[in-house]
Structure 1
Amino acid sequence: MSPQRANQPRIAVVIPTYNRSALLRSTLAALARQRLPVSEFEVVVSDDGSSDDTSDTVAGFVDRLRLQYHFQEDLGFRASAARNAGARRTSAPILVFLDAGVLPGPDFLSAHLSAHLSAQLPGSAVAGYIFGYQPDGPVAALDETTWTLDPEQLIRNHGDSPEFRDARHLAFERFGFDLGNCAVPWQWFWSGNCSVRAADFWAAGGFDEDFRSWGGEDTELAYRLFGRGARFVVSRAAWAIEAPHPRTVVPNLSSGSANMLMVLHKHPDTVVELLWSWFAREQHSQFQIHHDWNVEDEYLLVLDAVAKARSVDVTDELAQLRHMAGSARIAVLGCGDDVPDWLATAELFDFDREVVEKAAYQVNHAIGLRTALPDNSVDLVFVTSRLRTLWDQWESTIRAEARRIGGDLLGPPEPR
């Protein structure tokens, strides 16, 4: 980390907001109670075009916080743009992103600082713990009078309650709260409470401003950070509490699914396919969000399938396909790296990144759960035996994708 300049804050909190002045007031009040000296941190409220008294709320804290206020015109949901604009206004070397209505504990900022300073590797991304965060609604056991208490008292009263836990708690617990032990750590980096070094944030490009509705922008940023070598860390000490507020669960889930599809189009990758599939399943299960956000096991199955598929030769299968296909437009799932010339213009997919990188023709990195192909773009979808170990798990999803892109489905061949 570069040397600290005079009067430069050590850490900055960026809070995007839109017409949430009451929730924002609670968040700012909690930040004003930080044990970290106020001279050492900065708060930037980035307003996405509010029409309520948000600006007056911010003005009420200028004597208690080192505070900046940024306003952007209301052109629809632009949380990514608001976060980026807020981040540009500070020179702090560490950026914390916090949602309006999330109430940090008194050592919140000290804990985020400590997580970065104690990290064994540079480029850490810290997921702070969010008590009370339940995507499908507020914690039922807590009534409105509860929220007159300070965050510390709330934790003393309810911190051990399972329903008051962060929705990610079971996933964190599985890995001993050490995300270095898992294959997909970036799936739990959520912008309600997270931090990253400013240099790493901007090197990755910040939040993608193409996201114009709820969900996915933090996951997409985390994917890019991970690709650049970021080490993801959970900090239970950097805890905060999400205050209850109305949620639009069904629209949020629908938006999240659409945005995850956008992530997949931006980053064609098997693990992103799995995340998209999770959202798609949830969207079709009576719009109820289950607290099992975790594609770790599914991704490990894919990695195991990749290892097994490296000994599978599909040359004969592709030769037989030539006699069956005629002039049909073809998509091949599990094409392998030895693609015959006659398939050069086909839509080719494989779930092994090494195959994708060394194939003589363009091969897309995908299982086939969801491709980037438009509707009705092929006549025939051929699944090779390279997908045999994944077929039982994903047959129905792959068949649905084959119907979407318009082709009859053949394969995979039965094992010999």
Structure 2
Amino acid sequence: MPTMDQPRLSVVIPAHNNAAALDTTLASLTRQSLPPEDFEVIVGDDGSAVPLAPVTERYADRLRISCVRSEANRGRSANRNAAAARAHADTLLFLDADTVAHPTLLARHRAYHAERDGRPGVLLGQRYDLDWAGADALRRGEPIVAEMLDAERGDPRLEDISHPQRIRDFPSAPWVLGLTHNASVDRGSFLRVDGFDEAMVKWGFEDLDFFYRVFHLHGARPDLFRLDVEALSYHLPHFRKTSNGIASMDNMKHMLRKHMRYDVEVLYAINTFGRHLGRIRLYGEAIDAYRRQGLGRPTALPAPVRAELATSTALVVGNGVSALELGPGSQTFDHDAPPGPTNSHLLGTVLQQFKTGALDLIVNIDLWRCFLPDDLPAFLTRGLLKADRIELVATHGPLDQQAMLPVPLVADLDYLTDMLQHHFDVTVDVHDTATLLTIR
């Protein structure tokens, strides 16, 4: 329990070369409904050309504030970790240096964690992306008016998930919306996942990686995260480097190397926040349905394919396929077996871990039939860069496509063959246990 001298909330603000924005953000913290003795502010100065300590010192008479400076620029993850290491409260609120707090923001974060009574939790707040008029008003200390907050300035995450289905998708992967410009987490969870990954030094995805680890640390519990649209903040205009988006892909690749699972793999597709949530939910349901229906079993493989796999370097996708005799250098995507050096819980739509031409063949038993229409081409196109051919195996059996809904299932192989043969060399072979579509 906090003592009289211990704050109930630690506000962690990473900053780099943005003194004017930081000054506006710190000014907003002096106007909070939460009493100033209930929170502290720690600014992380990540090697700014002009030190930021003089900015923070201007607020020392109104805020419990400190500044942690690194003389070298070490990146956003290391900067947040260094500032968070100085925190005294049981709750950490991460606020960007260019994210101005609404007067009730800190109180809402504090109330959420207080009501959890020590249980771990994450609160994600909303932000408005202001233009020049809104930013000028805040810098003058004036209120934001409704005309400054139309849809063009809204939080893109909220627009993406406004559909009722997206709200239902949120508990499946709330970390997808886990941006650290306005988010709080219990300090215990932060320490247990070792904070932000300092190997991610470029822009982007370090916050999603952090919240992904918190989510799975606690068993992917659907009540762990809450999105609070009333926990408001205002994002100040700043120069966005076009190179940031390209550089962020290095962090994305690093994240997938760490977490070889379908829910991270989905992020490779260019999509909205809401569609990422929906795809993670759908593929989670697909993997469960795939298992319940007895699909993906190695018993469906014809004898010639089994014999070839025993001497080839292959990727085999299916339930129970890690028990097959496979050639040296082979790997499996087997969701029924624990992950390990040669087995991952992926779908196969990215395949970044394989070099070009590294595989003799890829064999996918039934899971491909659950791919969404734009993910199957990605699997085939990328797969044929890694392997000489792909075997799509469709197990014979009384499958009810309607009963599988909302999971998509390829049932009409003739339609699929007609679609694919305009782009690939496709051969169809019918065996006792399965139909094989050979793609070259």
Q: CA deviation at 1:269?
A: 0.6
Partner of 1:329: 313
The residue that corresponds to 1:298 in the other structure is 279
Q: Which residue of 2 aligns with 1:110?
A: 107
Aligned to 1:219: 208
Amino acid paired to 1:328? S
Q: Which 10-residue stretch deviates more, 227-236 or 103-112?
A: 227-236
Cα contact 1:306–1:351 (8 A) shared by 2: no
Q: 1:176/1:43 Cα in 2 relative to 1: closer, same or farther (>3 Å)? A: farther
> 1:141-220 residue pairs with structure 2 within 5 A?
142=133, 145-148=136-139, 150=141, 153-159=143-149, 161-174=150-163, 182-220=171-209
CA 1:63–1:178 in structure 2 vs 1: closer, same or farther (change >3 Å)?
farther
Q: Which amino acid in the other structure matches residue 154 of structure 1?
A: I
Partner in structure 1 of residue 332 of structure 2: 349
Residue deviations 1:231-279 (CA, integer Å, cap 9, x gap)? 001122321100111111x32211222211111111111110001x23x
Q: 1:8 to 1:176 in 2, by over 3 A?
A: farther
In structure 2, relative to structure 1, the CA distance for the partners of 1:178 and 1:328 (3 Å cut) is closer
1:10 paired with 2:8, answer yes
* 1:128 alignment counterpart: 125
5 Å-filtered alignment, 1:355-374, equals 355-357=336-338, 362-371=342-351, 373-374=353-354
Structure 1: which 4+ aligned runs deviate by more than 6 Å?
A: 176-180
Residue of 59, 62, 73 corresponding to 2:60: 62
Q: CA-atom RMSD, angstroms?
A: 2.8
Do the aligned partners of residues 227 and 233 (structure 1) sit closer, same or farther apart at CA in structure 2, a change above 3 Å counting? same
1:86 aligns with 2:83: yes
How big is each residue's C-alpha offset from its partner over 1:203-240, in whole Å with a ceiling of 9 and x where there is no partner?
Answer: 22111111101111111111111112260011223211
The amino acid of 1:343's aligned partner reads L
Instruction: State the one-letter code of the partner of 1:349.
Output: T
Which stretch has the larger CA shift, 228-237 or 116-125?
A: 116-125
Match of 2:392 in 1: 411
Deviation at residue 294 of structure 1 after TM alignment: 3.5
CA contact under 8 A between 2:161 and 2:274: conserved in structure 1? Answer: no
Q: Which amino acid aligns with 2:258?
A: K
- Map 1:368-407 onto structure 2 (within 5 A): 368-371=348-351, 373-376=353-356, 377-390=358-371, 392-407=373-388
**Contact 1:274-1:295 within 8 A present in 2 as well:** yes
Paired with 1:30 and 1:358, the residues of 2 have a C-alpha distance of: 47
Contact 2:12 2:83 in 1 (8 A): yes
Q: CA contact under 8 A between 2:169 and 2:281: conserved in structure 1?
A: no
What is the TM-score normalised by the length of structure 2?
A: 0.80
SS in 2 for 1:295: helix
Q: 1:173 to 1:198 in 2, by over 3 A?
A: same
Where does residue 273 of structure 1 map in the other structure? 265
| Identity percentage of aligned residues | 25
The one-character-per-residue Cα deviations of 1:78-132 (angstroms, maximum 9, x if unpaired) are 1111111111112111111011110001111111101112248821101011111
Give the alignment partner of residue 256 of structure 1, picking from 227, 248, 265. Answer: 248
Q: Specify the alignment match of 1:232 in structure 2.
A: 225
Q: Is the 8 A contact 1:179 1:234 kept in 2?
A: no
For structure 2, the residue ranges without an aligned partner over 5 or more in a row are 395-412, 414-433, 436-440
TM-score (norm 1): 0.84
Does the C-alpha gap of structure 1 residues 323 and 391 become closer, same or farther in structure 2, counting only changes over 3 Å?
farther
Deviation of 1:395 (Å): 1.8
- Secondary structure of 1:381's match? strand
Q: Is the 8 A contact 2:350 2:382 kept in 1?
A: yes
Residue deviations 1:159-178 (CA, integer Å, cap 9, x gap): 3x111211111244335997
Offset at residue 372 of structure 1 (A): 5.2
What's the CA shift string for 1:265-307, capped at 9, x where partnerless? 11111110001x23xx36xxxxxxxx54531221233133223
SS of match in other structure, 1:379:
strand
CA distance in 1, matches of 2:167, 2:373: 31
Q: Give the letter for the 1:182 counterpart.
A: P
> Deviations along 1:181-209, whole A, 9 cap, x unmatched?
53111111111110011112112211111
Whose radius of gyration is greater, 1 or 2?
2
Look up the SS of the partner of 1:199 in the other structure.
Answer: helix
Q: What does the per-residue CA deviation read over 1:1-56, in whole Å, with 9 as the maximum and x for residues that have no partner? A: xx112311111111111100011111011111112221111000111000125222
Counterpart CA distance in 2 for 1:121 and 1:212 is: 32
How many angstroms apart in 2 are the aligned matches of 1:366 and 1:171?
A: 25
CA distance 1:58–1:409, change in 2 (3 Å): same
Unaligned runs of 5+ in 1: 133-137, 283-290
Q: Would the aligned equivalents of 1:30 and 1:105 in 2 still touch at CA under 8 Å?
A: yes
Change (3 A) 1:143 1:97: closer
Report deviation, 1:390: 1.4
DSSP 3-state at the match of 2:337: helix
Contact conserved, 1:180 with 1:232, CA < 8 A, in 2? no
Aligned residue for 1:44? 42
Higher RCO (Cα < 8 Å, 6 or more apart): 1
| Structure 2 CA distance for partners of 1:329 and 1:98, relative to 1, 3 Å | same
